[in-house]
Each structure stands twice: as structure tokens, then as C-alpha cells.
Amino acid sequence: MAEGKKKSMVPLIFPVLVFLVGLVLGYYFWGTKSTEQIDFKASLQQTITYIATLEHRNARLQDQVNSLENELALLEQKHLEVSSSESDQVKHLTDRVNTLQRQNEELRATIADNLQLYEENQKLKERIDTLEHMLNTLRAGQQDLTLPPETEQPPGEKEKPF
């Protein structure tokens, strides 16, 4: 039964508690100034001034927001232009690098061919020098092996076999 009384007291205590809190807060906000007469015109004028100030600040902030949005749009457009121009530059530079690499490979192949031709040229020069030396040796040997004058034949006749 004691528990039943406690449960039935809760709905009665709660509104009383809310009323007391409201009374204390009301006294705290409006306090003892109730003896003075409130100047509604002055309060209204202060409120109007405050609202005008807020509207002016709001207009300035709105202008700033608009200018920042315009600036942001311009920067995004420039960014897109720069990105597209950079991608064009990257493509151009990539093509240029590929061209230079091809030319480099062609030049390396040409250098290899030139080196091979140089080596062949050196071998041919050595062969020519050897042949000239042999020719000089043969000429020197022919001069030593000249036939005696009585056995010489005229240039058009053949030798007769024995």
C-alpha cells in the first residue's frame, strides 16, 4: 500500500515542481524591476535598430558570399583550363619524348653500322697494304728475273714448246 501511495504522489509532485522552477526562473529573468515602468517605445526602437544592423550585416555577408562564389567559379574554370592545357602539354611532351627515343635508337643503329663499316674499312686497308706489298715484291722479283736479251721474244709471239 505504501508503494501505491508513492506512485500516486508522483503525478502530483511533478506539476508542483515544474511550477516552482518556472516561478524561480521568472523571478530570475524579470526580477524586481517590475516596480519600474517599461518604456516600450525605447525597447521597440532598440529592437528596430538591432534588426536594421542585422539586415545590414546580412546584406554585406551575402555580397561577400556572392563575390566568393564568383571567385570560386572563376578559379574552377581556370583550374579546368590549366588542367586541359597541362594535359595537352603532357601529351605533347610524351610525343616529343617518344620521338627523341626513336631518333636515339636510329642513331645508335647508325653508329653501330658506321663502326662495322669502319672495321671493314680498316680490314680492307690492311688487305690493300698487303696486296701492294706483294705487288711491290713481285715487281722487284721481276726486275731481278729479267731474261737475257737473246731469249727475249717479241710481244706478240708465243713461246714454242721444246
| 159 pLDDT above the threshold of 50 | yes
Q: What is the pTM of this model?
A: 0.36
Query: Which range among 31-35, 68-72, 78-82, 98-102 shows the weakest confidence by mean pLDDT?
Result: 31-35
Domain spans of the chain, in order of start: 43-143
**Residue 159 CB partners (closer than 8 Å, separation 6+):** 153
pLDDT bracket for residue 114 (50, 70, 90): very high
Q: Which pLDDT does position 51 carry in this prediction?
A: 94
Q: What is the pLDDT of residue 112?
A: 93
Sorted by sequence, the CB contacts under 8 Å of residue 153 that are 6+ apart come out as: 159
Q: How confident is the model at residue 34 (pLDDT cuts 50, 70, 90)?
A: low
CB neighbours (10 Å) of residue 139?
10
Rounded average pLDDT over 113-128: 94
pLDDT at 162: 46
